[in-house]
Structure 1
Amino acid sequence: MSRLLSISEAEVVEMTRVLRSRVVTDVVTQVQDMLNQLDSATLNIAVTGETGSGKSSFVNAFCGVAADAPGAARTGVTETTLEATAYSHPRIPRVTLWDLPGIGTPAFQPETYLEHVGLLQYDFFIIIAAGRFKEHHVQLARAITEAGKRFYFIWNKVDNDLDASFRRRSSKGVTEADVLGQIREGCEGNLRRAGLQDANVFLLSCFQLQSFDFPRLQATVVRELESHKRHVFLLSLPNLSSAVVEEKKMALRGAVWRRAIEACLTTVTTSDGCRGAVPLLMTILTSYQRSFGLDSESLQQLATLTGNSYQVLQKNVHSTTGQELSEMKVQAMLNEIAATQQTVASYLEERVPVLGTVASSGVVFAASFYLLTSALNDLSQDATRVMNVALGLSVTG
């Protein structure tokens, strides 16, 4: 029945439930409330650890900014963080990483540390260690657990550990997996002996974030966060694997029908037809670009971090919706799609009758749904191409 019918039966059922439950004026409020819950979700991530462990480097790597970029977390071998410092994610400002004062210094008192840094404002803690496992790591992990918060234990600078281990070993046959296994077992054993049986340990290098355990850290946090916070966390992740890109697409795809209804409802009080939905759709498409790291600022940051040319990365953005947007361009795309969606609009009116009352023949909804769905497919493909080139996994064609 037309390309648009990639809309699932479950989505039709959910639309029907929502739209039939209210008169048109209440539909606006109900749909907007759903979107507000999604759009207003915030995530506060506390990053703590000892001086020199790489807390600030982790913040910068997660946010995808160079250490010398404006607004980056200060890095150094001495303690540069004396108070909790907030760093908003450059693409997803609702995600904030907090660089906390270092532990293990004379000023560190495990009994009062969490109160001092404001325990309750954080959704979870990242504890970063490097070089040696120390008692204050256990003290902090136990205090966080007792306070009812979740932590993820990161052993950082594992690339340095590998180099040092291979320099020290004269015997042959020792593999990277052997060394990593020993480090992981040592950390997990120390935490278990402290009564932290279910502690998660991740081995990382902030200068090789695509390697080692960062993908596993991503997957673990996504699995354990509640729905709206999971959504915003996913959108903030750096594109380091095709799996992450696909998860971002699916997270955004879950709200497409709501976005399309929102666009449809913007035309209720106007006689502009599809034209009345263009400003909102342009805003949504621009947010999609940022989520996939395809806006100009994100591409420039990625080029700086990976040593690539911005022009080379931008060249791999092939889709129309990945390019610079204008209302005229969005209007043209929407008009082209709307011309083919009358059959789909009639089908949806039969299944969800209120659509016919909120916009002429449901065409605005049908066209908006198709435009946003197609954009997500195209942008995810662009993001994968850009990622592969940036990480040296493929060459430009």
Structure 2
Amino acid sequence: MEIQEMDLREMGSMIQSRVVLEVSSQVQSLLDALETTTLEIAVTGESGAGKSTFINALLGLNDGDPHAAPTGVTETTPSPTPYQHPRLPSVQLWDLPGTGTPSFQAERYLQQMGLERYDFFIIVASERFRQNHAELARAVGAMGKRFYFVRSKVDQDLWASQRRRPTHFQELQVLREIEVDCIRQLQKEGLDSPKVFLVSSFELHRFDFQRLQDTLAEELEDHKRHVLLLSFPSVTAVAVEKKKASLRKHIWKKALLACVVSALPGLPLHLNIPMLMNTLDSYRKSFGLDDYSLGALASAVSKPCCELRSQVCSTLGKDLSENAVQAILSQAALYGQMAARLLKNKVPLFDNLVAGGISFVAAYYLLHTALDSFAQDAQRVLERAYSLEDEVQGSLCYPPDPGFIYD
């Protein structure tokens, strides 16, 4: 009888080890595929169109940041220059040399720029789209790549329009006129259905930036779509919700990995905390709740950083510490203990796998609730950041912006 029980225990241990190793390998492969997915974005246009400032806005960097793309009145990009995302090393935005030269040839330009490395092209213009923009778009499309037109500096256009006709000024009408004119210019050069987006790099939460992000996400494959949603700054309520939804799809992978670790004999639940801490920290940064992001936003909207930080009300948003994470895990683990006891009584050979199940429940609960609370924090921060600014912009008294900051 004792020998039979010993054989059963050995068999159970062998099965557990094989299951754990197989599941661990598969889950880690899924996570690696997601985290190593690359996104290469090419940004081009004429000198002075605002390419570099646009890149810095997408990266969430101020122009003065040491890792930001340099800006200036003259062309500052002599060759393709990559700028790595500060949080996602697999994402790079490429600042390409200007296209506004008399000898510009689209096919030759693309060969020199290394067309194949880029996932898509964003063509930036600040006044009007010209023949070379259309030629470049046609060449990009002919080679199987996507392209998008961004009409930059629309905040300056609105300010200038209001100055010219203060009593008859209507913002929506002016924006519509700009869009129609851009489409007309591109159609005149032979493009049938050009995608044009009106953007201000200093006010991404306004105009067409959200529509641009939605369009890019819709036209990318699954993993690249996820990476794009994480890499772009969350400047609208819609962006926050879409980022949360994309992250939520992958919670089960992190929770299952925590389950696998806890299923290994002799390893307690708390050994998952470093992995979970890293995940939670990446969530917080994705929503712009870290000190750098809050400081950059405060600077952009001319508000004290402490005013924005006061809108971070969640437990982990205010205190992302091991003690706080452990407390939430312990609370969540209680929910699974009763069911675990019943399961252990019926399947005594798989005690460690049952412990892994408790760990899965706890980790999933932690990540799910943290994701919701971080998204709510981000919404409050955005509302506070842009509330007063929107009131001021309602009168459309835009101060003139010096052109030299818009390269």
Which TM class, normalised by the smaller chain length?
A: 0.7 to 0.9
More displaced 10-residue stretch of structure 1: 319-328 or 209-218: 319-328
Which residue in the other structure is 1:7 paired with?
Answer: none
Which residue in the other structure is 2:259 paired with?
Answer: 264
**Counterparts of residues 50-129 of structure 1 (less than 5 Å):** 50-106=46-102, 108-129=104-125
The DSSP-based 3-state class of the residue aligned with 1:71 is coil
* Cα contact 2:199–2:209 (8 A) shared by 1: yes
Aligned CA distance change for structure 1 residues 44 and 375 (closer, same or farther; 3 Å)? same
* Cα contact 1:303–1:313 (8 A) shared by 2: yes
Which residue in the other structure is 2:370 paired with?
Answer: 375
* Cα contact 2:130–2:185 (8 A) shared by 1: no
- Structure 2 gaps, min length 5: 1-17, 391-407
Aligned CA distance change for structure 1 residues 344 and 236 (closer, same or farther; 3 Å)? farther
Which residue in the other structure is 1:364 paired with?
Answer: 359
Which residue in the other structure is 2:401 paired with?
Answer: none
Picking from 125, 135, 138, the partner of 1:139 is 135
Aligned CA distance change for structure 1 residues 355 and 205 (closer, same or farther; 3 Å)? farther
Which residue in the other structure is 2:5 paired with?
Answer: none
| One-letter amino acid matched to 1:281 | L
Whole-angstrom distance in 2 between the partners of 1:175 and 1:381:
34
**Counterparts of residues 295-334 of structure 1 (less than 5 Å):** 295-334=290-329
- Quote the offset at 1:245 in angstroms: 0.6
Give the number of the structure whose residues are more often helix, by fraction.
2
What TM-score, normalized by structure 2, do the two folds share?
0.84
Aligned CA distance change for structure 1 residues 55 and 368 (closer, same or farther; 3 Å)? same
- Quote the offset at 1:32 in angstroms: 1.3
The DSSP-based 3-state class of the residue aligned with 2:330 is helix
* Cα contact 2:198–2:209 (8 A) shared by 1: yes
* Cα contact 1:124–1:150 (8 A) shared by 2: yes
Aligned CA distance change for structure 1 residues 348 and 168 (closer, same or farther; 3 Å)? farther
Matched, 1:290 2:247: no
* Cα contact 1:110–1:143 (8 A) shared by 2: yes
What TM-score, normalized by structure 1, do the two folds share?
0.86
Which residue in the other structure is 2:396 paired with?
Answer: none
The DSSP-based 3-state class of the residue aligned with 1:86 is strand
| One-letter amino acid matched to 1:340 | Y
Whole-angstrom distance in 2 between the partners of 1:364 and 1:294:
27
Picking from 240, 261, 278, the partner of 2:235 is 240
Which residue in the other structure is 1:212 paired with?
Answer: 207
Whole-angstrom distance in 2 between the partners of 1:347 and 1:295:
42
Aligned CA distance change for structure 1 residues 183 and 338 (closer, same or farther; 3 Å)? same
Runs of 4 or more consecutive aligned structure 1 residues displaced over 4 Å after TM superposition? 343-349, 353-357
Which residue in the other structure is 1:34 paired with?
Answer: 30
The DSSP-based 3-state class of the residue aligned with 2:324 is helix
Whole-angstrom distance in 1 between the partners of 2:168 and 2:295:
42
Q: Percent identity?
A: 48
Whole-angstrom distance in 1 between the partners of 2:356 and 2:260:
13
Whole-angstrom distance in 1 between the partners of 2:168 and 2:237:
33
Whole-angstrom distance in 2 between the partners of 1:321 and 1:28:
27
Matched, 1:163 2:125: no
- Quote the offset at 1:109 in angstroms: 3.2
- What does the per-residue CA deviation read over 1:237-273, in whole Å, with 9 as the maximum and x for residues that have no partner? 2122111111111111111111100111122335232
* Cα contact 2:20–2:263 (8 A) shared by 1: no
Whichever of the two has the greater Rg, that structure is: 2
Aligned CA distance change for structure 1 residues 55 and 358 (closer, same or farther; 3 Å)? same
Whole-angstrom distance in 2 between the partners of 1:361 and 1:227:
29
- Quote the offset at 1:354 in angstroms: 12
Which residue in the other structure is 1:11 paired with?
Answer: none
- Structure 1 gaps, min length 5: 1-21
